[in-house]
Amino acid sequence: MILKVDNKQVFASDAGKDFDKNKETIFLLHGSGLTHIVWSLTEQYLSNKNFNILAIDLPGHGKSDGPCLTSIEKIADWLENVRNEINVEKVSIIGHSQGCLEAIEYGSKYKNHISKLVLLAGSYKMPVNQDLIDLAESGDKKAVHLMMKWGYEGSKKFIGGNPVEKIINSSREVKEILSVDLKACNNYKNGKDASTSIECPTILIFGALDKMVPTENGKKFANLIKNSKTEILNDCGHMIMFEKAFEMREKVAEFLKK
């Protein structure tokens, strides 16, 4: 699906199905430097569960016009413009990593327009090592390698190589996209207040071996959100939608259907 938001083209993968306003609509939000492609094992499955699925490329990412938005707050406001463009009253949001920050900011700011939240491998704050930011700003592809060193529990299990390195595969993308996202995460300070003000049903899913968001940090995050539910997937790191796609999406579908 191609949308026009703020006079710019926005791409959202819709699992090849026509948009139906009688169905619940779900936004899928990717993490730093990534695109809708990360949801390839998720979107069709959830679409078949009778949801409208929009795996969105944020501005400047994938097939969406740039430039990238420079803060989590700006992205949350932009998502509200997307909701207005598709003309639905409420959406549910599934966010991964940086997408969790965007989801909680949206969920706290636009309470009347959020139905449910699914937060994968996220936290209410995501500080980024300055060395990683410096590498990304210089366009050094070592930034991707360093990020993924922390990102996967078992990256060697992926036939054909690490899929994230295939998405962020040029120095330009590292400099103009990944670095902007990393700085947006690092600069976001409203996460605790946003989390405590969320009122909609929420599930948080973590990987037991996640180095970016250790389970202890995840539990602190979950404790901030009223009446939330937490799931921890064994033998899984940060990239849940790749590492435990089938188990994750079943838990998500079950939660969304309640």
pLDDT recorded at residue 155: 47
What confidence tens digit (pLDDT) does each residue in 226-254 have? 989 999 999 998 999 988 999 999 999 99
Percent of the chain with pLDDT over 90: 84
pLDDT recorded at residue 189: 97
pLDDT recorded at residue 37: 94
What confidence tens digit (pLDDT) does each residue in 184-218 have? 999 999 999 999 999 999 999 999 999 889 999 99
Helix, strand or coil for residue 35? Answer: coil
What confidence tens digit (pLDDT) does each residue in 136-168 have? 999 999 998 888 776 665 545 555 567 788 889
Q: What is the pTM of this model?
A: 0.95
What confidence tens digit (pLDDT) does each residue in 73-95 have? 999 999 999 999 999 999 999 99
For the chain, which domains are there? 2-257 (3.40.50.1820)
Across the chain, mean pLDDT equals 93
pLDDT recorded at residue 242: 87
List Cβ neighbours of 162 (8 Å cut-off, separation of 6 or more).
Answer: 148, 152, 155
Q: Are 201 and 230 in contact (CB under 8 A)?
A: no
Mean pLDDT, residues 46-58 taken together: 96
Per the rule left: phi > 0, alpha: psi between -120 and 50, beta: everything else, 62 is left
